[in-house]
């Protein structure tokens, strides 16, 4: 039975029959004087990554400053332009070869949010550096149930090298807990759901999977506890609780449908694990919704999402592109290949727009999740045909920095400066990060 306190504990769970369900961030969890104070709410960091670079002529706005015209790739972001800033000209000097073999993906991907030149190796002696999301996780400590959540679409490649002379660990993910521990993404929605809504008192993974297969819901097991809590909450908190429970149930149904479908097949020789939807569109949206749900419940305030593993060879017949993404990225200036690559870039941007839309739709006091989130979106390359790591396609979004701007960084500016400023916006007392030589001062004026 829940005993309501003033304020309600942030770690309160709904319990019942071997199930424990985290609660969203409620007004009852704050001192009444601060309940509507947006500035008192937690700050969050989310990172959205697209592989294989960008057709920069379709990404870069033609003018600097506010009120810029959205180029073709950015048009899906029109509803969110007041909360986005496009930043061009930033690069990663640390992704240069520096005497290593010429394999751009294996260096650029791990440098993306670390700013570190990795050790070239195909073995287990990998070495990079802590990533910006994990630096923020260290700052927050045990403020949340999970320190961070790394999600993606592609299953990890576990063996051998994925780029010439570089371990697959360098391209499986973008997050690094420390210089020797990469954090590969989780691609199966079922696994993510079990991680979010299980604890020491909950059902084991096998039992939760059996329950999903039976089409039963964790909400059925916490119904009595939920009703008791709801009766003690104010109107706004009741609305928020109902919204959160319905979102949880919707995700359960979608995972159940994926399990019931048998998983289908990704290709002739690679079976899709149970729980992964048959369609790319359904998979991406489900993973994004899980990431948002984790923030809504304050299970974590830090997340990253890779819409594709670096070097991804995914095809996109649903948008008329049956060609391999990675092969198209080496377009050789072919107009046909460049047009197809731009189509993939825009398709990924549509999902980023959905990401922002979902965060904007969840209320957080007088504002939304997006208002208290810094979202960093980008790729490890600008022009992938050249493996250009010195002019990256970066977007900063959310309410923690001003939006509706295109900022052009001075040539040669390291992206680590932006990563350093990101930490400072999140109240981390950092003075250096990666190969930074100072904060990216334009961020405060973006």
pLDDT of residue 212: 52
- According to DSSP, the β-strands at 405-408 and 84-88 are parallel
Tokens of residue 24, six digits: 């969203």
Residue closest to 123 by CA, chosen among 78, 73, 161: 161
Distance CA 102, CA 371 (A): 41
Which residue is it, tokens 């969890």?
Answer: 29
CA distance 391 to 409: 9
Tokens, residue 71: 């180029």
Is the previous residue joined to 72 through a cis bond, with omega within 30 degrees of 0? no
Domains of the chain by start residue, with CATH = 1-40+202-275 (no CATH), 44-187+277-445 (3.40.720.10)
Q: C-alpha dihedral over 216, 211, 296, 86, to 10 degrees?
A: -110
Tell how strand 44-49 and strand 302-306 pair up: parallel
Question: What is the largest distance, in Å, between two alpha-carbon atoms of the chain?
Answer: 66
CA 97 to chain CA centroid, nearest Å:
28
Q: Among 178, 95, 192, which residue's Cα sits nearest to residue 134?
A: 178
Contact (Cβ atoms closer than 8 angstroms) between residue 245 and residue 238:
no
- What pTM does this model have? 0.88
Give the pLDDT confidence score for residue 267 in this predicted structure.
37
Residues 118-155: pLDDT tens digits?
A: 999 999 899 999 999 999 999 999 999 899 999 999 98
Q: What is the mean pLDDT of residues 383-406?
A: 95
Which segment of 126-140, 223-237, 334-348 scores lowest on mean pLDDT? 223-237
Inform me whether the pLDDT recorded for 415 exceeds 90.
yes
Convert the pLDDT of each residue in 13-41 to its tens digit: 776 655 667 777 777 777 654 555 556 68
Which tokens in the block code for residue 60? 């870069």
CA–CA separation, 152 vs 304, rounded Å? 8
Tokens 């509803």 locate to 79
The pLDDT, as a whole number, for residue 33 is: 47
């Amino acid at each position: 039975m829940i005993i309501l306190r003033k304020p309600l504990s942030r770690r309160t769970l709904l319990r019942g029959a071997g199930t424990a369900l985290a609660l969203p961030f409620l007004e009852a969890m704050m001192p009444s004087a601060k309940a509507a104070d947006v500035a008192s709410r937690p700050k969050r960091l989310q990172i959205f990554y697209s592989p294989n670079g960008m057709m920069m002529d379709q990404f870069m706005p033609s003018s600097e400053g506010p009120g810029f015209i959205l180029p073709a790739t950015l048009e899906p972001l029109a509803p969110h332009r007041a909360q986005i800033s496009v930043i061009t000209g930033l690069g990663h000097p640390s992704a240069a070869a520096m005497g290593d073999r010429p394999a751009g993906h294996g260096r650029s991907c791990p440098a993306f949010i670390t700013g570190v030149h990795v050790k070239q190796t195909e073995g287990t002696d990998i070495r990079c550096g802590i990533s910006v999301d994990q630096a923020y996780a260290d700052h927050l400590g045990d403020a949340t149930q999970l320190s961070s959540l790394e999600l993606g679409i592609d299953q990890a490649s576990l063996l051998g090298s994925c780029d010439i002379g570089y371990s697959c660990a360098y391209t499986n993910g973008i997050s690094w807990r420390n210089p020797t521990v990469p954090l590969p993404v989780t691609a199966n929605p079922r696994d993510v759901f079990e991680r979010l809504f299980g604890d020491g008192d909950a059902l084991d993974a096998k039992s939760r999977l059996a329950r999903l297969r039976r089409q039963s819901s964790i909400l059925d097991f916490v119904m009595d506890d939920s009703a008791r809590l709801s009766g003690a909450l104010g109107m706004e908190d009741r609305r928020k609780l109902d919204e959160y429970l319905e979102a949880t149930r919707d995700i359960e149904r979608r995972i159940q449908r994926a399990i019931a479908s048998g998983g289908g097949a990704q290709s002739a020789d690679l079976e899709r694990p149970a729980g992964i939807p048959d369609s790319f569109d359904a998979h991406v949206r489900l993973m994004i919704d899980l990431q948002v749900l984790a923030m809504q419940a304050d299970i974590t305030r830090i997340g990253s999402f890779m819409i594709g593993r670096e070097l991804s060879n995914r095809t996109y017949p649903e948008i008329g592109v049956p060609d391999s993404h990675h092969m198209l990225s080496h377009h050789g200036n072919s107009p046909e290949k460049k047009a197809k690559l731009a189509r993939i870039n825009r398709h990924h941007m549509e999902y980023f727009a959905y990401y922002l839309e979902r965060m904007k739709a969840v209320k957080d006091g007088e504002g939304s999740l997006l208002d208290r989130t810094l979202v960093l979106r980008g790729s490890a390359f600008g022009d992938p045909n050249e493996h250009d790591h010195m002019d990256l396609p970066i977007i900063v979004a959310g309410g923690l920095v001003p939006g509706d701007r295109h900022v052009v960084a001075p040539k040669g500016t390291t992206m680590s400066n932006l990563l350093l400023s990101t930490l400072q916006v999140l109240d981390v007392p950092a003075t250096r990060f990666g190969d930074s030589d100072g904060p990216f001062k334009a961020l405060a004026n973006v």
